[in-house]
A and B are shown apart, each in its own frame.
Chain A
């Protein structure tokens, strides 16, 4: 079966760093995506990893370890506007078009 786990909620202070973990157990792995979703809005793309290692994009970084079935999204210098749900998504090997999403991690940034 397929399983993608993320923490339900995390709280952090403005200016701090937060790390959102995502673990997956899937029958085949073909890339991992992170999306941000503000309340009442559509998800928007943040990052993509297919090889092991760290991808950095401004205040956001994403890490992947395929052998461990593990990824994290690192948000630095947190801002109030970063309060949102963060979705981890795995693309499966049985089809380039097939995706599975985690339930999302709600990040609350406090002043």
Chain B
């Protein structure tokens, strides 16, 4: 089944404890992206990747890191999480970044930072 998977789905952690949220897609998509979703603010883009080893900042990159060492995986790293990073996180992928290319979203990761 073609899909985007994220792990973990739910995570409660404490301030300052490094964590990684994994994202993987099995559709051979070139483009991948991370978003956070907060009430009243909608989806905000954190980082995106146009292809392997190519990453760029979205609108809210502070406090996050990403890497794209292989096509299928795009992990999101929080080196020192803070309570303001409590949010619902979505990973998405599309075949290419340009033109008509819909994004397929993962199921989401609900993160709480205490």
Proximity string of chain A (25-47) to chain B, C-beta cutoff 8 Å, 1 when within and 0 when not:
00000010101000001111100
Interface size on A, residues (CB 8 A): 23
Instruction: Among A31, A48, A103, point to the contact of B42 (Cβ < 8 A).
Output: A103
Interface size on B, residues (CB 8 A): 27
Q: Which of B33, B49, B105 contacts A99 (CB 8 A)?
A: B33
B50 touches A98 (CB 8 A): no
Cβ of B19 within 8 Å of any chain A Cβ, yes or no, is: no
B50 contacts A97, C-beta separation under 8 Å = yes
Residues of B bordering A, CB below 8 Å: 31, 33, 35, 40-45, 48-50, 56, 58-59, 90, 97-100, 102-108
Which A residues form the contact surface with B (CB < 8 A)? 2, 31, 33, 35, 41-45, 48, 50, 87, 89, 95-104
